[in-house]
Structure formats: C-alpha cells, structure tokens
C-alpha cells in the first residue's frame, strides 16, 4: 500500500478559498470523483473531488481553513489492486467559473443548512415525525444541490441521499418534495389547528361498559366518510318543496304500481327530479380530476341512494335514471334495497354513481347536512315532510300544504353558492309541479 497526498487542484483566479465543509472521515473508502471538501470563494462554492480510489488515512484541513491550489487536503492509501484508470482531474477552475456565471449566489445561500429544529422559511414542506426523528445528521450534497434545496425550502437533513456515501442529488430532493406533497395536508391548517391524537380514555373508570367490534361496512364507510369530509369543502343549501300535489299523485298511482308488485315511494320521484336538475346544471353531474386540474362532466345519470342496513350504510346505484319512468325507478329501488338488506349487493350495484340521495324521511327529523359521496360533487338530503300553513298570495290566505325539507351538500371547489341555490330552486319547482316532473 502506498500513501499518497491529495492537493487542492487548480481553482482558477482565487488566491485562497474557505473550507466550509469536510465530507470525508478517516478510514473512509473513496472512489474517484467522490466529493471530499466543499470550498467557498466570494463568488461561488464548489466540491473538491477525490482523484483516485483509496482509503483516507489523515485529513489535513479543517472547516474554516483557507486553502489554495496545491494545499494539502489529505493522505490516503491508494488501492493497489485497483485496475481503474485514474479519472481526469476535473477542471475545477472551469467548474467554479461555470457555477459563478450560472448562479447568482446571495450571501445567505452559502450559509450551511439550518439545524433540524429550525424550520426553513421559504415554502416550508410539512415534515413528518418519522423524518424529524432522523434529523441531526450531516447531509452531503454539492453546492448546486444545496441551492436547489434552499430554493424549495427543503432542509437537507430530512433528505435521504441515493448517491454513493448517501450523497444527496437533485433527484433525491425532487423525490422528497413529491413524497411530502402527496401526504395528507393536515399541517397546512397551522400547527395550532392540526388534529391532535384522540385521548385514550378508560371509560370503565366512569361506569359499566361493553365493547363491540365495528362491522366491516362501518369500518369501510367510516374511512370513506372521513376522507370525503376532510377533502371536499362542504356547503349545505337548505330549501323546502311543496309536494302536496305530488303526494296526491303518488297515492293515486299506488294501486297500479302494486299490481306490478312495485312500491311507488317518494324516492323514485326524487330521483326523477334530481336528474332533471342535473341536466339543467351539469356541473352537479361532475367529478374533479385527482390532480385537481380538470372537471369531468358525465353524460349519463346514475343516482345512488343511502340505504340503512343492519350492518351499516351502503349506497346502491340506480343506473340510467334519465331513460326510466318512475315505476321502473321504483322497481330498481325496491330490488336494490332488498339486496342491500340481504347482503346480496354486488360491486356493480354500487358503482358508477353520479349523485346521491340520502332520505331520512321515513324515519324523521327536520333537516340534516349529508356528507358528499366523493368523487361525486353533491348529495341531496331529504327529511320528513309535514303539513304546514303556507301563505298564498292569490287568495291572501294560509293553506295547509305538505312541505318536504331538502338539504343539498355540495363541493365548494366545484360548485358555487349561486349554483347551489339555483339547483335547489329548480328541484323545488320540479317537485311542486308533477306535470313538469313527468314530462
Ligand atoms: N316524508 C314523510 N314520509 C316519508 C318520506 C318523507 N320524506 N319518505 C318516506 N316516507 C314514508 C314512506 O311513504 C313510507 O311510508 P308507508 O310505509 O306508510 O308507505 C315510510 O316512510 C318508509 O319508507 P321506506 O323507507 O320504505 O321507503 P323510502 O323510499 O322512503 O326509503 C330507503 C328507502 C332505502 C332510502 C330507506 O329505507 C333508508 O334506508 N333510509 C335511510 C337512509 C340513510 O340512512 N341515510 C343517512 C345516510 S348518512 O348521510
């Protein structure tokens, strides 16, 4: 083994430059071009690469030293077995000039990475706890990579290097930023409003308790409801529809429907009215593309309905509602509800929905705010109808009318408030005039 000396190569028109980082340790095996030091002039900074492969025996410089061409950097033991052709010593002078001409370095850009506890000021990237736990290490990266990281506000202490000796390259920073941006954006709420962990309370300390496992449906729908709730900014528009005439018509049709074995419920008429409104306001029959760049408008009309089953909530979908009459819709509703309660729904029965109706009218309540079944952009909540005294301008008298409360929740990223009010106004007009509804 021969011990050799490594010197600072030609670094151009600089009398001396400062050593700002030492990237090697005694005992390190190095390869040609592995960066050993970072030096800084008043114009730029650059890495000093290793000329050969070998093992570092002694380091002859320290951070803060001034060095120039010919200064001794280190002693190393050159690999005797190595058959490599020594790499051409890079033209350090040219590299410094290139960097200086390309990068207008501000004085602050030469400041080493902030310690892990200091957050980057520019566009901070949310940092997970697991990443924080890995902080405190020294990161190895070239000046241009450091500059790239600083421009993005990335703290290199959190980036894993993929190059030899865990050196960080541009691709690592890009991958880090991509990964961080794809995480749920709860940090964006500001630390003071970020969700905190649910306390683990021993309820038995306050009285007798019973623990039951959540049904599979509840676990799945719970995760979906939570995602939809935090993803789509919900607005709920309320309105009332006068369904006195519609209800009289429904009852008059019931006998005929019964003959066909169909229960003609209000929900079938609601579906018809909703599709009419979806056609008038196509933005409600859309989905936002996953990248948030486009709106996908659908030219088909499949309407889902929330169905209460002993195992939890499911949403079967009535297909092609536009092409069906109310009896056909009622028939589909009956079949799908039965399948849901008998746990016989297939995937296809629950796919392809454009819009959802959640009807609690058979149970009770005056109004509620349904959660959108994303990626749909709106859902209609229907509550229990009741007789109410409604003032009639024509007769200047109050008349008893059957009033149906409607609650339309929509995704405010896609639907404006004015359109929300237009949609429910259209719906109430449809429901109040059965002739228009069935045209
Ligand atoms: N106002 C007053 N009465 C109503 C009504 C309304 N808005 N809607 C239905 N009713 C009546 C019906 O006329 C029926 O009365 P009769 O038995 O005297 O004919 C009774 O309530 C029961 O109706 P139904 O439940 O059989 O039929 P439906 O079409 O109204 O509802 C379905 C079907 C599947 C939607 C319903 O059974 C259901 O599961 N609802 C719960 C949905 C739910 O859980 N939503 C919450 C989801 S969270 O957002």
Residue 68: domain span: 2-97
Q: How far apart are the C-alpha atoms of 153 and 194, rounded to whole Å?
A: 21
CA 379 to chain centre: 21
Element (H, E) at 2: strand 2-7
Lowest mean per-residue pLDDT among 13-17, 205-209, 282-286, 373-377? 13-17
DSSP state of 240: E
* Residue 423, token pair as written in the block: 């949609």
Percent of the chain with pLDDT over 70: 82
DSSP string, 181-210: HTS--GGGG-TTTS--PPP---GGGTS---
Q: What Cα–Cα distance (Å) separates residue 273 from each residue in 102, 182, 263, 337, 437? A: 63, 39, 18, 20, 6
pLDDT in tens, 59-113: 999 988 999 989 999 998 987 544 444 444 444 444 434 433 333 322 222 223 3
Q: Nearest 5°: phi and psi at 9?
A: -80, -175
Q: How far apart are the C-alpha atoms of 129 and 407, rounded to whole Å?
A: 40
Report pTM: 0.63
Lowest mean per-residue pLDDT among 120-134, 175-189, 390-404? 120-134
Domain shared by 268 and 410, yes or no: yes
Mean pLDDT of the chain: 83
Domain shared by 225 and 155, yes or no: no
Domain shared by 299 and 423, yes or no: yes
The radius of gyration of the chain's CA atoms, rounded to the nearest angstrom, is: 35
Question: Is residue 187 pLDDT above 80, yes or no?
Answer: no
Mean pLDDT of 235-245: 98
Q: pLDDT category, 354, cuts 50, 70, 90?
A: very high
Domain shared by 163 and 63, yes or no: no
Last residue of a domain, one of 134, 166, 181: 181
From ligand 1's centre to the CA of 439, what distance in Å? Answer: 25
Q: Which ligand 1 atom is nearest residue 370's CA?
A: 49
Lowest mean per-residue pLDDT among 144-153, 374-383, 386-395? 144-153
Could you tell me how many helices (H) and strands (E) the chain has, helices first?
Answer: 10, 19
Interhelix angle 326-341/266-280, rounded to 10 degrees, is: 110
From ligand 1's centre to the CA of 368, what distance in Å? Answer: 15
Q: How far apart are the C-alpha atoms of 230 and 221, rounded to whole Å?
A: 14
The answer to whether residue 152 is domain-embedded is yes
Does residue 52 have an active-site annotation? no
Q: Which ligand 1 atom is nearest residue 309's CA?
A: 39
Q: Which residue has the higher pLDDT, 142 or 338?
A: 338
Q: Which residue has the higher pLDDT, 179 or 306?
A: 306
The answer to whether residue 211 is domain-embedded is no
Q: Which ligand 1 atom is nearest residue 385's CA?
A: 1
Question: Is residue 192 pLDDT above 80, yes or no?
Answer: no
Q: Which residue has the higher pLDDT, 1 or 118?
A: 1
From ligand 1's centre to the CA of 408, what distance in Å? Answer: 17
Question: Is residue 233 pLDDT above 90, yes or no?
Answer: yes
Domain shared by 54 and 162, yes or no: no
Q: Which ligand 1 atom is nearest residue 362's CA?
A: 21
Count of CB atoms within 10 A of residue 408's CB? Answer: 24
DSSP state of 81: S
Nearest CA to ligand 1 atom 26: 362
From ligand 1's centre to the CA of 414, what distance in Å? Answer: 29
* Residue 57, token pair as written in the block: 């025996």
The answer to whether residue 114 is domain-embedded is no
Question: Is residue 127 pLDDT above 80, yes or no?
Answer: no
For residues 343 and 311, the answer to whether their CB atoms sit within 8 Å is yes
- Three-state secondary-structure class, residue 288: strand
For residues 240 and 405, the answer to whether their CB atoms sit within 8 Å is yes
pLDDT in tens, 371-384: 999 999 999 999 99
Count of CB atoms within 10 A of residue 189's CB? Answer: 10
Domain shared by 86 and 227, yes or no: no
From ligand 1's centre to the CA of 284, what distance in Å? Answer: 24
The answer to whether residue 172 is domain-embedded is yes
Question: Is residue 136 pLDDT above 70, yes or no?
Answer: no
Question: In a mutational test of the pocket of ligand 1, which residue from 257, 362, 364, 367 has the highest number of ligand atoms less than 8 Å from its CB?
Answer: 362
Mean pLDDT of 292-298: 95
Please report where in the chains the tokens 């959190």 appear, as a residue: 158
Domain shared by 290 and 430, yes or no: yes
- Nearest alpha-carbon partner for 187 in 116, 112, 131, 145: 131
Domain shared by 145 and 266, yes or no: no
Here the CATH number for the domain that contains residue 21 is: 2.40.50.100
Query: Residue 109: its pLDDT value, please?
Result: 27
Interhelix angle 326-341/244-259, rounded to 10 degrees, is: 70
Residues with a CB atom less than 6 Å from ligand 1: 265-267, 305-308, 313, 337, 358-362, 370-371, 382, 384-385, 404
Question: Is residue 180 pLDDT above 90, yes or no?
Answer: no
Domain shared by 258 and 377, yes or no: yes
Domain shared by 242 and 154, yes or no: no
Q: What Cα–Cα distance (Å) separates residue 136 from each residue in 122, 159, 168, 218? A: 20, 12, 15, 43
Domain shared by 280 and 396, yes or no: yes
Here the CATH number for the domain that contains residue 398 is: 3.30.559.10
Question: Is residue 184 pLDDT above 70, yes or no?
Answer: no
Q: How far apart are the C-alpha atoms of 110 and 94, rounded to whole Å?
A: 20
Task: Say whether the peptide bond before residue 375 is cis (omega within 30 degrees of 0).
Answer: yes
CA 277 to chain centre: 30
Query: Residue 335: its pLDDT value, please?
Result: 97
* Residue 46, token pair as written in the block: 């650059």
Q: How many residues does the chain have?
A: 439
Domain shared by 30 and 169, yes or no: no
Question: In a mutational test of the pocket of ligand 1, which residue from 251, 332, 359 has the highest number of ligand atoms less than 8 Å from its CB?
Answer: 359
DSSP H helical segments within 260-352, as ranges? 266-280, 326-341
Q: pLDDT category, 188, cuts 50, 70, 90?
A: low
Mean pLDDT of 402-419: 98
Question: Is residue 281 pLDDT above 80, yes or no?
Answer: yes
For residues 71 and 8, the answer to whether their CB atoms sit within 8 Å is yes
DSSP H helical segments within 374-416, as ranges? none
Which residues are registered as beta bridge partners of 388? 401
Q: How many domains does the chain have?
A: 3
Question: In a mutational test of the pocket of ligand 1, which residue from 229, 240, 255, 265 has the highest number of ligand atoms less than 8 Å from its CB?
Answer: 265
The answer to whether residue 13 is domain-embedded is yes
pLDDT in tens, 27-38: 988 888 888 888
Mean pLDDT of 261-288: 97
């Amino acid at each position: 083994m021969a011990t050799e000396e490594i010197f600072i190569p030609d670094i151009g028109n600089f009398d001396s430059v400062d050593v700002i980082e030492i990237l090697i340790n005694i005992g390190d095996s190095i390869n040609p071009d592995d960066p050993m030091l970072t030096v800084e002039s008043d114009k730029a900074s650059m890495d000093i690469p290793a000329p050969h492969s070998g093992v570092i025996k002694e380091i002859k410089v320290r951070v803060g030293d001034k060095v120039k061409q010919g200064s001794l950097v280190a002693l190393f033991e050159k690999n005797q077995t190595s058959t490599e052709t020594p790499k051409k010593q890079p033209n350090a002078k040219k590299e410094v000039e290139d960097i200086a001409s390309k990068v207008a370095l501000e004085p602050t850009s030469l400041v080493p990475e902030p310690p892990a506890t200091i957050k980057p000021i520019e566009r901070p990237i949310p940092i997970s706890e697991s990443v924080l736990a890995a902080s405190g290490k020294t990161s190895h990266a070239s000046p241009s990579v450091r500059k790239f990281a600083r421009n993005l506000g990335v703290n290199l202490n959190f980036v894993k290097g993929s190059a030899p000796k865990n050196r960080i390259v541009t691709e690592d920073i890009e991958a880090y930023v991509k990964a961080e941006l794809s995480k749920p954006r709860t940090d964006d709420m500001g630390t003071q409003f970020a969700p905190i962990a649910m306390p683990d309370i021993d309820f038995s300390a306050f009285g007798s308790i019973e623990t039951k496992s959540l049904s599979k449906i509840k676990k799945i729908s719970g995760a979906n409801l939570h995602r939809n709730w935090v993803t789509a900014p919900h607005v709920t528009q309320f309105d009332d529809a006068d369904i006195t005439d519609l209800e009289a018509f429904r009852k008059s049709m019931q006998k005929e429907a019964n003959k066909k074995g169909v229960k003609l419920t209000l929900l079938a008429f609601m579906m018809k009215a909703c599709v009419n409104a979806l056609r008038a306001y196509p933005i409600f029959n859309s989905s936002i593309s996953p990248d948030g760049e486009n709106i996908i408008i659908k030219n088909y009309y499949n309407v889902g309905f929330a169905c209460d089953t002993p195992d939890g909530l499911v949403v079967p979908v009535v297909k092609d509602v536009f092409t069906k009459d109310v009896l056909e819709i009622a028939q589909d509703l009956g079949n799908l509800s039965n399948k849901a309660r008998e746990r016989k729904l297939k995937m296809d029965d629950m796919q392809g929905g454009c819009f959802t109706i959640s009807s609690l009218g058979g149970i009770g309540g005056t109004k509620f705010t349904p959660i959108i079944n994303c990626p749909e952009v709106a859902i209609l909540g229907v509550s229990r109808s009741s007789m109410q005294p409604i003032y009639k301008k024509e007769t200047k008298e109050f008349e008893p009318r059957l009033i149906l409360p409607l609650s339309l929740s929509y995704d405010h990223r896609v639907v404006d408030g004015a359109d929300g009010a237009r949609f429910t106004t259209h719906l109430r007009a449809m429901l109040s005039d059965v002739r228009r509804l069935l045209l």
